[in-house]
Structure 1
Amino acid sequence: MFSIGDFARLGRVSVRMLRHYDALGLLRPARVDPATGYRSYDAAQLARLNRLIALKDLGLSLEQVGRILDEKVGTEELHGMLRLRRAELAAHVAEETARLARVEARLRMIETEGVMSTDVVIKSVPAVRLAELSATAESYESDKISPVIQPLYEELCKRLDAAGLAITGPAVAYYEQAPDGVRVHAGAPVNADPGGAYEFDLVDLPGAEQAATLIHHGPMDNADASFQRLARWIEENGYRSTGLAREVYLRYGQGAPETWVTELQETVTR
């Protein structure tokens, strides 16, 4: 048998915690010396301690843990509960990591407020024929757009290959406000007969005489600051947006993300 101190060391818990579990009836000592009150534990009790700690780490209350232990949950069932909890915790960590990235992006935008952009170029934008697929995102937030647009491009590439069509230039994305969110259009320029039967839409995207353009470096997940720099430049230089914006992916999806290049285009007028 083991003293309470040795049992705590072997079980990787504190003596105080073992006394607490004893008081709650969750893990009684194998023996209590009637004269001294010293608690002693059997090695076999480590199995119950392991289950107790695992269930507590699942987020269950100690009362719930006690009921489950008394019902003698099997090893396989306990493993299943732990795997489920692990998946939930991983999802929570991913969500909080994404939240932190959004906070950092907003901080960068705040830090650049009042700084004049000097890298915006006004130019004409040519019309382009696009093969495209569309879907609706909940909002314009990056973490809402990315999960929608990325699968669209993957599927579009598959359908273009099946149709025997080659992409003739940088991919182009554009957006429209929809009653239930934002309509996301994922397009790629092609030389295709508009009368053909395809498993994608064929759209002639009109050109524009004037567009304020800005080169964004890196993935679009952190493009919010670039969009706001472009918006400030448009206003500060006496232009007015016509509400037609495009993203032209000059170099995207290959190599290190920090090397990706996207041209942001906002059609404008005075």
Structure 2
Amino acid sequence: MFKIREFSQLSQVSIKTLRYYDQLGLLKPASIDPCTGYRYYTTTQLFRLNRIIAFKELGFTLEQIMHLLDEQISIEQIRGMFRLKQAEIQALIEDEQTRLTRLEGRLRRIECEQEALPQHEIVLKAIEPQQVVSIRDKIPPPTLPLMLAELDQYLKRYGVVPSEKQPYLVLWHGCEECDDATDLEVARPITQCIPENERFHVQTLRAYQTVASILHRCPVQSVCSASIDLADWIEAHHYQIVDNQPRREVHLTQEDGALSIAEVQLPVKRIS
């Protein structure tokens, strides 16, 4: 029998950790002196402790290790836990590899631009579903503010008075047969019930697990040049744009009559 200090020296595990394992019920002392409260361990308990250490090195939590060491657990359950941990680690490796690829791309851009940081930062993010009221039409982009004004007038009719500081969305659907016009949709987020008709539509914009996003200043009445940077990034980082989905622009604030701070969002998927 070994006192806790001796057992700590043998196992190279701190006394604090051994006491914590005792509290969890993960490795309880073989006996405790009722008079002194000293904890005593046996040599055979080194095998259990070494297994705990090995499982920790594999990335299992202490709670998971308690299940793995449970005498009632079957070999099939142990195999399943190992497979889940394997999948978890593989996903982490893929995430880190993606991060490494993005870092390498940034480094190349910085080197090509003579150590200057890129003008726009591009990030991957998820977006939640959002209820909006919108107008969709085939129009020349310069007339987009007129559509927004029309939408705001409709909302005011039902007691909703949008502020210039409130975001609005523009969905660029594209139109191959429109010549000078573009299939555009302007939308305002809503939190209350608004009636709809042939001109004004209430809908829930779908969620996306992954969009490539870029925040920038852009002209209100034309296509943003930052979309070119976004397209270059998508191609360089081995993503592709999801088919048949509009490009979203979330106009966060309007600095003046000509420029707006906007976020462009493109739904993307990884190229396998």
TM-score by length of 2: 0.48
Instruction: Flag the structure with higher helix content.
Output: 1
TM-score by length of 1: 0.48
